Amino acid sequence: MYRDGHAGFNALLYAPAVPVVASRWSLWLALVGAVVAVGVSTLPDFDDPLPVVAHRGPTHTVWFALLVGLAAGVGTALAAPGEPIAFQFGVVVGTGGILAHLAGDVVTPMGISPFAPLWRVHVTLEWFASKNPRINRAFLIAGSASVFGSLALTMVAA
């Protein structure tokens, strides 16, 4: 998937969490979670222009997901200091956001090796090409509509 597809996919996956997080903790934490989920959606692809790091290499592993999750936990704790669960929530959303990116790349022919270097199994479903504009646009539209709709309904219900 390309940038728009990944952002939409992450938004689509996070949308159902909005009302749950808002009712259990706070709307602010739900909003921070949306920013984190969509914000990390393209982070693994920062390796693409780098000459020394293979694209879909170390940044496309579960280890990178855990590292980003820890950083997201710290960021969420700073963004929502009154929330006792903020760090843990940020870890889950940050890690989940990277894992969602990996899932979006598994469905392409290039695939990924999510457990490298410990286990070099290559995973691909070959459902569609990363550059497929219809798929990327569909995920962006569906994800945007879902997360904004979820936020709007949650704010109306509050």
The whole domain housing 126 covers 3-157
Residues 31-82 pLDDT 10s: 999 999 999 999 999 988 888 888 899 999 999 999 999 999 999 999 999 9
* 139-151 per-position pLDDT tens digit: 999 999 999 999 9
* Average confidence (pLDDT) over 23-37: 97
8 Å CB contact between 122 and 112: yes
Query: What pLDDT is recorded for position 133?
Result: 96
Q: What is the DSSP string of the chain?
A: --HHHHHHHHHHHHTTHHHHHHHHT-HHHHHHHHHHHHHTTTGGGGGTT-SSS-TTSGGGSHHHHHHHHHHHHHHHHHH-TT-TTHHHHHHHHHHHHHHHHHHHHHTSTT-B-TTTTT----B----S-TT-HHHHHHHHHHHHHHHHHHHHHHHHH-
Question: Quick one: pLDDT band at residue 124, thresholds 50, 70, 90?
Answer: very high
What pLDDT, on a 0 to 100 scale, did the predictor assign at position 97? Answer: 98
Q: Quote the pLDDT of residue 21.
A: 97
Work out the percent of the chain whose per-residue pLDDT is above 90: 92
What's this model's pTM, rounded to 2 decimal places?
0.94
Give percent above pLDDT 70 in the chain: 100
Mean pLDDT of 114-127: 95
> Total domain count for the chain?
1
Mean pLDDT, residues 123-147 taken together: 97
